[in-house]
Chain A
């Protein structure tokens, strides 16, 4: 008797242990995914933090001879200012290295500062200029100066000058507004996301303007007007399949049809938006149909009973009730379109875009494509720019999804 009990008890214990193991396996599976997510977000945040600041160097420029902006030879003025700061530098090679302390665009910066404050003319003011990428990285502590000289970008002579500037208080770190206000650049310290952001906004505008109305119309037809038939089944299967087609295939379609057959401008937000619209359409149709289905039949019956026609019932009564749900679906679809990269590469939105696109047919790029382009650049400065651009992109996605959630909460009704 007792023997039977002990064997049953042992068996039961083993079963409970296996139960416990299984439960922990489930927890581990979830923790694995979430841990990956956390590591990814934290490492990108840590990398991207640096892009928010930028090193600047103070130089006393001699503008005593100039009375108008045209008199100023910005390059020469800056060169002289640098030589005056470091009078001990005489050899040609060292002089050239000295000039590399400043970012290549600092001439424009001087012109801009004079333009903003003409009173500087005729004086010799001390102004701040963007430092070059190497110096920028040094101030952020990204340069390991304990390494031997030949294994780092920043050479010892330059390092000496930078430390001299630092001790004089002529080196500072400021908030990098340029990252948010300027376009792409070959120089990481000057590169910004603004033109890519505008490109994304333009593409999404086209995408929304096309896919939202068309998606609603298709959903209205399928839910409210079509009779259940083989034809409507066929349309439905088609839509579900399109939702799962790889995005790069849409890019190929856009390339073959929009660019080569219709001859629309390559690299433009117009074509980008059209391709994204084709991709988003199934998502919006599916969400819109769900929204229409949640409107109870009693609303339709009441309207029809009062003598409204089918079209009146749909547009006066059903559509207004379903619209918030549709909009929620559309925002989620737009968020996905915002992160889409591959189809935009296909239609040529991978160009090097410095200027902010002015219209739907200008050459443009988009935020995710800009990330892709920067990710390929070897400079350390671009690494932080890439990460920071990713953070901006993720921030936008979070905002869009939050808006969708808030909309859903606000307009959610139970009938």
Chain B
């Protein structure tokens, strides 16, 4: 009788190695995408800066990317000063944040501290619905309803309002990012330990006083993180500004005038037929890189703050 051999080392399983390798590669894909984004845009941006100087792009005050069809045409060079686009983006984002920050934060406070389970049960999903509606819908609504409404109201007050005012785009964008702030702030407020709440209430503070003097200060880092994420979303938002903000580069801080944004210009530069090598097309990638760098920075800071804060109370 042959003795059966028992090996305790286990058989080699080459397939398992292969599977693990495949899983590893899939997870590295995320890094490749990031690298791909950076490289592809850096390459086009570098080509762009062969034609237009970096200082003109970053500090130039005039944006008119029309390159001439014929060489002898007037104004054939085009000018690529991104400052009006940056200020336009900041103006619209600031309006959006002015709407979203108080609304989102106060909604979050109400939902986490006051609302009954029943109210919370239906108000929270409804608020989150705002985030689920595609931005093209907001853009349509902003251009069709909000902008004419603001123009009409402004007209009655004797104000000159552009038909594609920064106010309309910013206002609608603000409503869109309310749920970003409210749901993240809600999490953060809920993470504040009950001991703090009870201690303050036990000392005779009203609930509003507890919230204002104890809970919100304790949650400030997380709230700041949610604001930063929302600001980054506002800066990167495209469809609302394409549909409801103008395309004319305008260096102004007046919310009633039309301004244009980085994202709206990228879309305008790259839709329709264009040769790939022109400074006009390449400038879109320089704008894209600027946008990517800005939002990446905001996101990194926000996530770092939020994570650090989470550890604090864990």
Contacts and interface: CB of A to CB of B under 8 A. Distances in A.
Contacts of B132: 335-336, 339, 397, 401
Interface residues of A, number: 83
Contact of A218 (B26, B212, B292): B26
B16 interface: yes
Contacts of A250: 37
Contacts of A372: 136, 139, 239, 242-243
A352 B37 CA distance: 29
Contacts of B211: 22
A341 B239 contact: yes
Nearest to B300: A241
Given A30-B110, A37-B129, A235 B23 contact: no
A23 B229 contact: no
B159 interface: no
Interface in B94-140: 102-104, 106-107, 109-111, 114, 123, 126-127, 129-130, 132-140
A130 interface: no
A278 interface: yes
Nearest to A376: B243
A74 interface: no
Nearest to A253: B37
B236 A214 contact: no
A214 B26 contact: yes
B206 interface: yes
A248 B103 contact: no
A329 to B, nearest CB: 14
A19 B28 CA distance: 52
A218 B30 contact: yes
Interface in A210-245: 214-215, 217-222, 225-226, 234-235, 237-242, 244-245
A123 B107 CA distance: 70
A316 interface: no
Interface in B260-311: 263, 266-267, 270-271, 276, 284-285, 288, 291-292, 295-296, 299-300, 303
Interface residues of B, number: 84
A249 B111 CA distance: 34
A2 to B, nearest CB: 21
A368 B20 contact: no
Interface in B199-250: 206-209, 211-212, 229, 232-233, 235-239, 242-243
Nearest to A47: B144
A394 B141 CA distance: 14
Contact of A33 (B31, B103, B243, B270): B103
Contacts, number: 245
B168 interface: no
Contact of B303 (A39, A218, A240): A240
Contact of A285 (B30, B133, B137): B30
Interface stretch (A114-122, A153-161, A254-262): A254-262
Interface in A240-284: 240-242, 244-250, 252-253, 255-257, 260-261, 278, 281-282
Contact of B267 (A310, A342, A387, A393): A342
Contact of B145 (A43, A235, A338): A43
B133 A235 contact: no
Contacts of B30: 218, 235, 238-239, 242, 281-282, 285
Nearest to B141: A40
Interface of A: 15-16, 18-19, 22-23, 25-27, 29-30, 32-34, 36-37, 39-40, 43-44, 214-215, 217-222, 225-226, 234-235, 237-242, 244-250, 252-253, 255-257, 260-261, 278, 281-282, 285, 309-311, 315, 335-336, 338-342, 345-346, 350, 368-369, 371-372, 375, 383, 386-387, 390, 393-394, 397, 401
Interface of B: 10, 13, 16, 19-20, 22-24, 26-31, 33-34, 36-37, 40-41, 43-44, 102-104, 106-107, 109-111, 114, 123, 126-127, 129-130, 132-141, 143-145, 175, 178-179, 206-209, 211-212, 229, 232-233, 235-239, 242-243, 263, 266-267, 270-271, 276, 284-285, 288, 291-292, 295-296, 299-300, 303
Given A44-B141, A248-B266, A383-B144, 5 more contacts: A23-B208, A26-B107, A218-B26, A226-B24, A339-B135
20 contacts: A19-B207, A19-B208, A32-B103, A37-B175, A40-B137, A43-B145, A218-B27, A221-B20, A237-B300, A241-B303, A248-B236, A248-B263, A252-B37, A252-B270, A281-B33, A309-B10, A309-B16, A342-B239, A346-B267, A369-B136
